[in-house]
Chain A
């Protein structure tokens, strides 16, 4: 076989076992030179595990990895890097309190001369600037990573990986935290890298993206490879069918909710910072969508209602009374539940079990004479796990070991255990696979049917349009427009969100 036709990477019969689950079961994966190979599958299908095996995070139990036809061992991320494999994971692994430039060259900082150990700060800064410019990212290399926005932090992580000049670049859910402009910059970069001969493994839940930049798609399901397809010969519908093993019909489901009284009214609310002027209402049984670009203030609206940020000006009516919760505790007592966007840092206690996480807020209610009644606790947990279809349905499982979609269900379970009458959802399906998404949509519909009012912030427009009764659009910290479900379409929303 000549060097051109020989695949760059072959993973053969990869098996990875975690206590209790077979995460990968004899998976074969082949990567060609200069292709974008997408990896899709439901949560828990084994996508992240597979790329982590390749990048040396999880050594596999069985199987072999061949690079350029030669067998290699990838036991640590360091070894992976030496072999020319770079990964940008879902949570960018950067050191917050040092500059972007130092992060980009972490472990390979330029020295003033060969063999010296004195850092050449000028060269570092210049080189970092070059890397960022060639990536097409608008980031100042002198800034500390902690000062960057979430999306720029992700882009900095991409730049760091690219700076290593990898043969194989792995992008794990790279666009989950990016806005439209940044996604464009990233896609531009991917195309330039591929033209240079770099091979890219692209993991994403956003199927539309795969058709924009992918060459081939490998579908994983339950730790096994289902098939590998050419992007040109498969449709999105067929792909979904392969992923879930069935066709997804009405993804967003339907509901017969009776819309009742107003339970939330915000009038010119401002937090004195990002949130400038929010005016909106939510009624019983109603799903109100909150649209806007990254940084438009969607999260800040939810935080101000949930008592997680200070309200500086404006008026708020919650359940008919004029009041502003001063803490999440107060908000919960009123009946306001808040599901945060950042599951890992703000949602769950990852080293506690699923059961304990579900009980987080509700414990004081499960007491008699100040003593926790464990029989009641178990009932709450079992109800929650079975009605939300947490998979695996094991309350004793450590939350950090669940897939993203199931973690999200646990967060929902925690909030719903309090029986809130107003639920605030911030990107509830971020990083969640198609199957779990559908289940979460079902949960939202059932909640609305039971009379709960829902305020849903999302950057996925089909989701907003599919679920909401009304959509409120934000721009620059201000609510600028409102569309009824019938008149909402992506174009109209985007026009208001961008302005002009």
Chain B
């Protein structure tokens, strides 16, 4: 196969990977700070995708525009979820948290099934089928837009954690929970905000992903798993790590599909996860615990 096919696949894999990265970023923020294993992460994303479909149908909103109201909505939802349901579980063992989130996930998946039906849904924007051609390399427009949006949201998030007071306080919580309480930070409030931010992230990622894929309710668990894999590969709590790992997984899926069997392409993902866990358990860009 000629070289440009590999280039093509790599490039489109990388662009998709950036969106995956943003999705995982939300999970990384939640786990890194709140220490809750959000096993309903993918289901939260498909919920956001359905909202985007509704907005597109009702108001004709482009998902890339809709990501702002949806991000806000998801922030509120995440904030409330943490405040009410999850907060008592922070001190409980991981497996109890896991069960809680599995129950939430089951409810979310089936509520979506109930409301939106089992069919694949999507949003057709005007430029959905357009593509850029540079020589032999063809890249579709939506993929480029989605990846750029993902980068922008990620950059905003970095700025938030680096430059704002709340961001700094959240980082302090993540570094030293007890210390944060000692210096008088409202940890409960900060946790809820963090969960909200994580939810907003995955909501925005859902809007971008909607440009690339169709959504069905049963896809939720698959996205949850993917997000966990990316976070672990990138390094739990590392924001750059999540983006980089997203890229790695995106490219590996693309090349895996070309080099081995397409139907076995996610094997590459699992292989990377296993290798990282064994040889660099702190993740590609994570700090040693």
The answer to whether A and B come from one shared complex is no
